Structure 1
Amino acid sequence: MTPNNKKAAPAGTGTASNAAFTGNDRTTPTVTGQAAQVLGLIRKYQPILSLHLTADHAIPQAAARIHGMRAMGFNILTTIRPSVVFRGRIRRNIAAYSLGVPEWPRPGFSTGAHESEQFGLDSIQGGAK
């Protein structure tokens, strides 16, 4: 047998989650693909239910797109609705997404605060955190 001399893949250019942010760079990041579609739908219909993104707009992993946009610094708020009637059936614990103010950058983004402290997970019954 010959030894496996495969080389590691070259490092990529990075992702939005590890992109450096400086105080001088105040340009909103470019959003493309499904993330751009999700952002446009949130802007148009906010708050929009995750069920609508999945069922009506064919975006199967909406939460992943939201997570990626938060990593870019977008101020996307999530509200968990305990009960929603969707297509004639009661659905439980459904996420609704909306944009906070300012839309970008989210508060704390330039200081490097972790997104879990910033994204505003809320519950209809529980009020703001």
Structure 2
Amino acid sequence: MLKIGEIVQTVKGIIEARIGIVKQEIQDEFVGILSRLILLVLIGSMLLLVFLFLSLSLAFFLSQLTKSPYLGFLIVALLYFLVVLAMILTRDSLRIQQRVELMLKDFIFKAKLKSEQEEKEENEQ
């Protein structure tokens, strides 16, 4: 006959094993999200540099075309001003907010969504 102490130890071992598995899953998910956020910051930084150099190149090119040392930079600044003005006017647009939110969720939580889809496929089979 089984003793109560053995049953308690077995249940305790099962619970500890499950807690360990959950901790590992949380750590893996956190590391995945953190690595995607770091990648997003790096991509953003590189895009910032690209836009900076493209803007300077366009400004110098327009300066040479207009034969004015400052007019090219003024045109580029006005282009950026128009972009900022358009962003300010559309800041309350729910469609744009939803698109950006969906894009960020898809990028950051992509690994989690893939694993959930794989689990659903396995459960269906």
TM-score normalised by structure 1 residue count: 0.18
Greater share of helix:
2
Return the structure number with greater relative CO, CA threshold 8 A, min gap 6: 1
TM-score normalised by structure 2 residue count: 0.19
Give the number of the structure whose alpha-carbon radius of gyration is greater. Answer: 2
